A and B are shown apart, each in its own frame.
Chain A
């Protein structure tokens, strides 16, 4: 089987658009959560959220050539992060009029929801008014669930597989694993993978109605997302995109690419919505089996995991997630690895979260640090009973001797994804 490395990253997130600004916030523990006035107008319980800024992106002039500047946010976030990742990998942007395609490069870009902004803001109002003739010619291509990858492939002239996956909040991590498998099996040399979730109050409303969002922090937005804290009272909705360039190791070495990290292995499964697992709650058995499967796939022992990038979404499920980790790794107290949650700063970017968090983990491995998990000054007592609370860094840990990071994502449907990232040496 082929070995797979990460050679490029691109990001549009509430804590920064572009690798440099994201890395700065990541190291400094800066929250990207703000008051969203529109949610106040619409009587939401949770009126704060994480919405990336994309104005001023270097890639907007290029997108103009392809008539993509006015794409909805789901597609636009994927395009901006995808083009950044391509550049970051040191790859050449194809000419607009060139007839060459790249059969070695494939694309898998997922989303949890799809282009709800286009549906809610344009499609439904015009159809209801009997004015569907006014829909732009790009409506169909923007509505496609595969639109983010399809639009990106048009710019990159990518000629291998081009598709979209969807698996709730595990979507991003799943996309990375799917691309990894594709290269591992020798079906492609390079894969552009990741996930995107656009901004729209319409689908945020469904989470708000389900009462899974935090409503106690509308006056102090940056304190709202507090994974592993005793005062965590729900997730903070957010959006964005993260795209990674994966390459076969030999292929990357041949072109002397900058290598961020290696993907050592991973596992995808479902708890089957039994034994405590439901549509919205995870089955511990399923989670533990997923983590064990990833360790086996990566051919490493549980003792070798140095850090966990948790799913940890600032809900009642956080203590259960820690308990599952202690069982899966057979490690607790001081023996437990470091653990952090990017969602403490970005909020929960839903379908995009797995890819964004994978990028954070990749940056940690490459730059030898462990990012802080903020707003956890009051560690949940159940968690404090399981692990040494110093394993949850309140501030950055520099010069960290990291070899393996485990990245997990869990989603509605009782679905699980676990990725094992390895330092490249």
Chain B
């Protein structure tokens, strides 16, 4: 789980210009609310996640990916299949 989390954080970091935003965020941070990522970039993040973890994320699942825990849980579940 920690390994997945750190890989996802590495992906998210590419979409953040103000790096100091990482210093003060909750454990289960949200992408748009806490990291201030432009909502249009979520599509790119999902593409990066799909390529990194060799999984496919359907549109319905995509809509529910709000926080880091959502993403990690989705990746873990997909990888088990």
Residues 23 to 62 of chain B near chain A (Cβ within 8 Å) = 38, 40-44, 47
Q: Which residues of B contact A128 (CB under 8 A)?
A: none
The CA of A96 and the CA of B18, in the complex, are separated in Å by 11
Contact yes or no, A137 B41, CB < 8 A: yes
For residue A137, which residues in chain B have a CB less than 8 angstroms away from its CB? 40-44
Complex CA distance for A65 and B44, rounded to whole angstroms: 16
Distance, CA A64 to CA B19, complexed state (A): 13
Q: Whose C-beta in chain B lies nearest to the C-beta of A139?
A: B43
State whether B17 touches A134 (Cβ < 8 A): no
Contacts of B47 in A (CB 8 A): 133-134, 136
User: Is A67's CB within 8 Å of the partner chain B?
Assistant: yes
Closest to B47 in A: A134
Interface range, B side: under 10
Closest to A133 in B: B47
**Main secondary structure on A side of the interface with B:** loop
Closest Cβ of chain B: how far from A247's Cβ, in Å? 31
Min CB–CB distance B39 → chain A (angstroms):
9
B17 CB contact (under 8 Å) in A64, A136, A138: A64
State which size class the interface on A falls in: under 10
Digit string of A136-153 for contact with B (CB within 8 Å is 1, else 0)?
Answer: 111000000000000000
Least Cβ–Cβ distance between B59 and chain A, in angstroms? 9
Within 8 A of B (CB), among A37-81: 64-65, 67
Contact with B along A120-163 (1 / 0, CB 8 A): 00000000000001101110000000000000000000000000
User: What B residues does A133 contact at CB under 8 A?
Assistant: 47
Contact of A67 among B38, B42, B43 (CB under 8 A): B38
The reply to whether B41 and A65 contact each other, CB–CB distance below 8 Å, is no
Residues of A within 8 A of B41 (CB): 67, 137
B40 neighbours in A (Cβ, 8 Å): 137-138
A134, A136, A137, A138, most chain B CB atoms within 10 A? A137
Q: Are B43 and A136 within 8 A (Cβ)? A: yes
Which of B17, B42, B43 is in CB contact (< 8 Å) with A65?
Answer: B17
Residue of A nearest to B56 (CB): A133
Contact with A along B48-79 (1 / 0, CB 8 A): 00000000000000000000000000000000
Instruction: Report Cα–Cα, A137/B37, bound state, in Å.
Output: 13
Cβ of A134 to closest chain B Cβ, rounded Å: 6
Q: Tell me how far the C-beta of B62 lies from the nearest C-beta in chain A, rounded to whole angstroms.
A: 10
Distance in angstroms between the alpha carbons of A183 and B79 in the assembled complex: 60
Q: Which residues of A contact B17 (CB under 8 A)?
A: 64-65, 96
Please name all residues of chain B whose beta carbon is closer than 8 Å to the beta carbon of A134 when the two chains form the complex.
47
Query: What is the CB-to-nearest-CB distance from B77 to chain A, in angstroms, rounded to a whole number?
Result: 20
- Please, how many angstroms separate the alpha-carbon atoms of A67 and B47 in the complex? 16
Residues of B within 8 A of A (CB): 15, 17, 38, 40-44, 47
Q: Which 6 A-B pairs have the closest CB atoms?
A: A137-B43, A137-B40, A65-B17, A137-B44, A136-B44, A137-B41
List 18 A-B residue pairs with CB atoms under 8 Å apart, sorted by A's residue number.
A64-B17, A65-B17, A67-B15, A67-B38, A67-B41, A96-B17, A133-B47, A134-B47, A136-B43, A136-B44, A136-B47, A137-B40, A137-B41, A137-B42, A137-B43, A137-B44, A138-B40, A138-B44
Further contacts, 5 of them, CB under 8 A, given A136-B43, A137-B44: A64-B17, A96-B17, A133-B47, A136-B47, A137-B43
